[in-house]
Amino acid sequence: MTQTESQRAAAPAREGHVDIERELCKGCEFCVDVCPEECLAMADLINSRGYRFAQYEGDRCTGCGVCYYNCPEPGAIIVYKSKPEGQET
């Protein structure tokens, strides 16, 4: 194993991250229902349109995109394969 390969093997896997635009979310819960890591939940608050919105909870996102592909509202969900630079959990 080369040094580069061993460094890659020792490096922790980068986590994904989900951003949900609360004003675009219509509260259908599709994303919450299909998330394999169960890291999305419905907020107790409502947005300006009167809907409870989905929110990202925790740090278990793998960046798989299942939530994105099941969301009927274009632009409501952005999935990152790794956390945006400088962003904490």
What is the pLDDT, as a whole number, of residue 87?
Answer: 60
Query: Strands, DSSP E only, in 1-89?
Result: 17-20, 40-46, 52-56, 77-80
Mean of pLDDT over the chain: 85
Confidence of residue 7 (pLDDT cuts 50, 70, 90): very low
Domain count, the chain: 1
DSSP state of 48: T
Q: What is the pLDDT of residue 59?
A: 84
CB 27 within 8 Å of CB 42: yes
Is 80 exceeded by the pLDDT of residue 2? Answer: no
CATH number of 46's domain: 3.30.70.20
Query: Residues 31-71: pLDDT tens digits?
Result: 999 999 999 999 999 999 999 999 999 889 999 999 999 99
Task: With a cut of 80, say whether residue 1 has pLDDT above it.
Answer: no
* Residue span of the structural domain in which 57 resides: 13-80
Tokens of 24: 């675009």
